[in-house]
Structure 1
Amino acid sequence: MANNNITTTTTPSSSEPEMSQVKNYGTTTFVTAAAAEQTTSNTNPNNADANAVQTEDVNDPDSLVALGIQKLEAQNVHWYSYLLTVDFWIIILIGQVLSLCITATNTFSSFLNEQGTSIPAIQTIFVYALIFIVYFPTALYQSGGPRKFFSQTWKHSWKYFILSFLDVEGNYFTVLAYRYTNILSAQLLNFWSIVCVVVISFFLLKVRYKWFQIAGIIICCGGMGILLASDHITGSNGGPGIDMVKGDLFGLLGATLYGISNVYEEWFVSKRPVYEVLSFLGFFGVCINGVQAAIFDRQAATDATWNGPVAGYIVGYTFAMLIFYSLAPIILRMGSAAFFDISLLTANFWGVIVGVKVFGYVIHFMYPIAFVCIIVGLVVYFLAGSVLGDSKKPWLGADQSEGVAGVGTAKLKALNAARKKALAEAEAGAGARV
């Protein structure tokens, strides 16, 4: 870390680096995002000035965050203020990219089934392996080598194992549900994951939903209901199913595990670097899925068709899931697990668009109405909120001192706001002296 005429004491942390300098402009000092991120002090700011960042605050980056949050929340906020921010449009866009990824994975899975290849556990091993291959080297580099990485993170490994287990089993039981029940029932059960997210976030993470957020969730679910109704009207619900009760129970279990894992991941990525979370998710995902595949998918792998198209479909599935897992932490930081789940409701609409071109589906007139309802619900979710939206997490403290200053977090936004404020005041002071 560069030191410009000031002495600072920092404790390195496993946070995502942005920059690594402490700068001095005239009589006003401020710390760039990474410099503050590398300090994990939980002390309260002393003598913090709302109009300037004093030199003594450099040793307490939490005061910078508190100043930035104060500046952001002191803005004249209207009911539409968050809708005018870049963050809102980014989070909407990411949500739709994630929905397209889900559509892509469903399409590739359908192609695999047409080839006579149904190996859900083995198929997902490649996904977790690629996640590990991509993010583990980054984790080692940012941590300063294997020894430092494991010394810093090994105490959290059991938590990552639980996260991976929930994610793997959520995938497995949801796919398994489609074998026994029809599509309509399976999709209806997916609503349960939204209920789980809201309830768990309320009681365990102390999230307090505003009326607009509740209304947005209800509108989104209403849009999804229109989609399901149109499927039922057109007879696209998949028929009676092999064993409806068994399939519905599997679907309910999968949706519950999904809901828990989404909340758990939101908690994790707000406190730890993304590359660390995904490294462990990939590692334990391979281990858990490997055991599951060895037990349940051996015969399926033997009976499967293995040829060029199958390999291509598996590659497409794997890369679509890599994009999904890479973007999910960003939307969980900028938004929430609840917003993440309701954003994915549009995947059914995109799936039909693909189905029209690939499988010869016919769009019912209710589909565009349903899509508009879901998008309107996503907009309503962020009405009458602060400019920070859901990125300010209640479990990280008022000044977000318990969180990481990574991409999409309120802590990084606050640091940037404090930095801009300090720079503007320094330039104004310099101009006055001239």
Structure 2
Amino acid sequence: MADTDTVVHQPKGADAASPGNGTGVPTLVASHEANPVLERDAQTRGTWTAYVKTKQFWIAMVLGQTLAICITSTNTLSQLLSNEGTSIPAFQSLFNYVLLNIVYTGYTIYKLGLKGWGKMVLKDGWRFFILAFIDVLGNYFIVLAYRYTTILSAQLINFWAIVVVVLLSFLFLKVRYRWTQIAGIFLCIGGVGVLFGSDHITGFNQYDALDAVKGDLFALLGASLYGVSNTLEEFLVSEQPLYVVIGQLGFWGMFINGTVAGIFDRTSFRGATWNADVGGYLTGYTLILALFYSLAPILFRMTSAAFFNISLLTGNFWGVAIGVKVFHYHIHWMYPIAFVLILVGQIIYFLRQGSLAEQKKPWLGEGQDRGVSGIGTARRRVENPGAVV
């Protein structure tokens, strides 16, 4: 998807796309009182329902659930591939990075020119390489964990990703959490606890672990990498156009993931089943995962890496809902209750926040002038008070 970001590289605190005032200081926003969006945000901070009454809140909620369904769909397709005798966790993700690279790097070169793209890579490529490296390894270790430990153990350890995101955001991005946000996170986790309780009662998702200690360590490592990559991506997409970030993630991820697949998936690849069904599953997996990677940065901009992670907690519910049709699962009566608890936790997370809530990033300045103006950013709304996203 195309992004309307107008700034790619700029000195910190300056906007190359905004008219200057002769002093080198951008005239985007002279003060928050002079801008209706920033003024409303300042006036509504600490009120209970200022943000949950906005269109942005409902868009963020729907987007979060869309991403949860995307992840659940890719997990379902991975299970179908495994049922066919094709288990190539690193290789099957390679096509996603290739597709992202073709679409978004191609668009980046169109916007910047080949020479401009090369300068961008030389200047900032190392940051995107780190993002891609962490992202690829996070995917690999989480998939690897499921080979050795139970689904219950692996998913419980995935909560560590939320802890990592909150700690990193607090320490490095100057994010300060309200008690309502912490309460919302705990209620979401409690909702997932109800899901696990239902699984325990019904015996669903229960099986012996091949090597629980090894699997749990892999899951812990993968969750930690996810937390780091989510936080880093939120930071990068606030300062760079989406097409640059996603394009670079695809570009570097393609090489890194290809290397990982070449090292670890060679034996599995040779023993894999290849037929029309496998081709269809791989195609669906690639398209849905590419959609996920395209939409996630918008949610990072509109909310945060923390909300992104608690949004994905409904994945268990959607997984069973999809499994009713695909794997003939049965939904236990506790599942809808758990789903509602998670959604209520997400609403509580946004209580007592201003009209911009987490869309306004503390590291970008009061007027958000250090950031890019693009889809989902606070700066876009500051410059265009009528903008929804």
Question: Is TM > 0.5 for Structure 1 vs Structure 2?
Answer: yes
Aligned partner of 1:432 in structure 2 is none
Q: 1:401 to 1:107 in 2, by over 3 A?
A: same
The match for 2:272 is 304
1:207 corresponds to: 175
Q: Secondary structure at the match of 1:164?
A: helix
Greater Cα shift, 73-82 or 196-205: 73-82
Counterpart of 1:386?
Answer: 354
Does 1:97 find its partner at 2:66? Answer: yes
- Residue 103 (structure 1) shift: 1.0
Alignment counterpart, residue 312 of structure 2, candidates 334, 340, 344: 344
Larger Rg: 1
Pairwise CA distance, 1:236: 1.8
Counterpart residue identity of residue 91, structure 1: A
1:261 counterpart residue number: 229
- Cα distance change, pair 392–300 in 1 and its aligned pair in 2 (3 A): same
Can you give the 5+ residue segments of structure 1 that lack an aligned partner in the other structure? 1-14, 19-33, 45-52, 420-434
Residue 162 in structure 1 maps to residue 133 in structure 2: no
1:240 shift after superposition: 1.7
Residue 42 in structure 1 maps to residue 13 in structure 2: yes
Structure 2 distance, partners of 1:401, 1:380, is 29
The aligned residue for residue 133 of structure 1 is 102
Listed as ranges, the matches of 1:345-360 within 5 Å are 345-360=313-328
* Contact persistence 2:149–2:210 (CA under 8 A): yes
Q: Secondary structure at the match of 2:356?
A: coil
Native 8 Å contact 2:90 2:260 kept in 1: yes
After TM superposition, the score normalised by the length of structure 2 is 0.92
Work out the CA distance in 1 between the residues paired with 2:30 and 2:315. Answer: 40
Higher relative contact order (CA 8 A, sep 6+): 2
Q: Which runs of 5+ in 2 are unaligned?
A: none
1:63 pairs with one of 17, 29, 41? 29
Question: Identity over aligned residues, as a percent?
Answer: 52
Quote the residue 1:369 is aligned against: 337
Q: What's the CA shift string for 1:190-236, capped at 9, x where partnerless? A: 11101111111111111100111111101101001111111112112
- Specify the SS of the correspondent of 1:61: coil
For 1:291, the equivalent position in structure 2 comes to 259
Structure 1 residues 286, 41: closer, same or farther in 2, change over 3 A? closer
Cα displacement (A) at 1:408: 0.7
**DSSP-derived class of the 1:82 partner:** coil
Report the equivalent of 2:111: 142
Distance 2:12 2:386 in 1: 18
Q: Deviations over 1:141-166 (max 9, x none)?
A: 221x1101221342111111110011
Relative to structure 1, is the Cα distance of residues 241 and 298 closer, same or farther in structure 2, using a 3 angstrom cutoff?
same
Alignment of 1:153-302 (within 5 A): 153-302=121-270
Instruction: Report the equivalent of 1:4.
Output: none
Paired residue for 1:124, among 71, 93, 96?
93
> SS at the partner of 2:127?
helix
Q: Secondary structure at the match of 2:52?
A: helix
Taking the aligned partners of 1:64 and 1:101, their CA distance within structure 2 comes to 41
How many residues are treated as equivalent by the alignment? Answer: 380
**1:115 pairs with 2:84:** yes
Amino acid at match of 1:260: V
Structure 1 residues 299 and 402, CA gap change in structure 2 (3 angstroms): same
Distance 2:144 2:254 in 1: 19
Structure 2: how far apart are the matches of 1:192 and 1:38? 34
Find the aligned partners of 1:362 and 1:345 in 2 and give their Cα distance.
19
Cα distance in 1 for residues equivalent to 2:136 and 2:181 = 29
- 2: CA distance, partners of 1:291 / 1:55: 50
State whether residues 116 and 305 of structure 1, in contact with CA within 8 Å, keep that contact through their aligned partners in structure 2: yes
Q: Distance in 2 between the 1:343 and 1:57 partners? A: 44
Distance change (3 Å), C-alpha of 1:59 and 1:257: closer
Preserved CA contact (<8 Å) 1:16 1:405 = no
Letter in 2 for 1:128: Y
Shift of residue 62 of structure 1?
Answer: 3.2
SS across alignment from 2:68: helix
Distance 2:99 2:306 in 1: 27
C-alpha deviation, 1:79, in angstroms: 1.2
Q: Is the Cα–Cα contact under 8 Å of residues 71 and 417 in structure 1 kept in the other structure?
A: no
User: Structure 1 residues 283 and 54, CA, compared in 2 at 3 Å: closer, same or farther?
Assistant: closer
Between 233-242 and 222-231, report the one with greater CA deviation. 233-242
Q: CA deviation at 1:174?
A: 0.2
How far the C-alpha of 1:70 sits from its partner, in A, is: 3.2
Detail structure 1 runs of 4+ shifted over 4 Å in the superposition. 36-41, 53-59, 74-77
Counterpart AA for 1:326: S
Report the Cα offset of residue 58 of structure 1: 11
Query: What is the aligned partner in structure 2 of residue 25 from structure 1?
Result: none
Aligned with residue 72 of structure 1, among 20, 33, 40 = 40
Q: Distance in 2 between matches of 1:196 and 1:267?
A: 15
- Segment drifting more, 58-67 vs 217-226: 58-67
> Which residue among 79, 85, 104 is the counterpart of 2:54?
85
Contact 1:230–1:367, Cα closer than 8 Å, also in 2: yes
Deviation at 1:60, TM superposition (A): 2.5
